[in-house]
Each structure stands twice: as structure tokens, then as C-alpha cells.
Amino acid sequence: MGLREWEVGGVLLSPFLLYVLLALLLTGLLRLMVQATPLGRWIWHEALFDAALFVCVLFLVVRLLGPL
């Protein structure tokens, strides 16, 4: 994808930030879908589930959109 660093006020921001923001958005949407279904009742530890879901979605985003 050829991402480059951004310079904001003399601070360089990583292009990985785009992947993180996209994964955060997708995780939020998936979390809302899980809460709307009966599957949400089976979640024992919600914070742990959210963190694990974010890591899995971030992996998929980087794998699908990142360089080979």
C-alpha cells in the first residue's frame, strides 16, 4: 500500500495508525452486532472479549491491506 509517515507539528505519526483506526471502527460495529444477538449473553468477561476481538480484527486488517 506504500504508506508513509505523517508530519503533524513536527511529530511523525506512524502509518500503522490508519490500520488501528480502521480496526477500531470494525470492532465497534462487530461489538454492536454481537450485543444485538443472543450471542452477547455468552460473553463472560466483556473487556477481555473486546480486547481479543480488537486484536483479531487488527490482524485481519493488516493482513488484508498491508504490504506482503
SS (H, E, C) 1-68: CCCCCEEECCEEECCHHHHHHHHHHHHHHHHHHHHHCHHHHHCCCHHHHHHHHHHHHHHHHHHHHCCC
Looking at the domain assignment, is residue 6 inside a domain? Answer: no
Total number of domains in the chain: 1
Looking at the domain assignment, is residue 29 inside a domain? Answer: yes
Looking at the domain assignment, is residue 34 inside a domain? Answer: yes
Looking at the domain assignment, is residue 37 inside a domain? Answer: yes
Per the structure, the complete domain to which residue 67 belongs is given by 23-68
Q: Kindly state the average pLDDT of the residues 63-68.
A: 80
Q: How sure is the predictor about 68, in pLDDT bands with cuts at 50, 70 and 90?
A: low
Looking at the domain assignment, is residue 38 inside a domain? Answer: yes
Q: Kindly state the average pLDDT of the residues 2-31.
A: 90
Looking at the domain assignment, is residue 58 inside a domain? Answer: yes
> Is the entire prediction scored with pTM above 0.85?
no
pLDDT of residue 21: 95
Looking at the domain assignment, is residue 30 inside a domain? Answer: yes
Looking at the domain assignment, is residue 4 inside a domain? Answer: no
Write the pLDDT tens digit of every residue in 19-60.
999 999 999 999 999 999 999 899 999 999 999 999 999 999
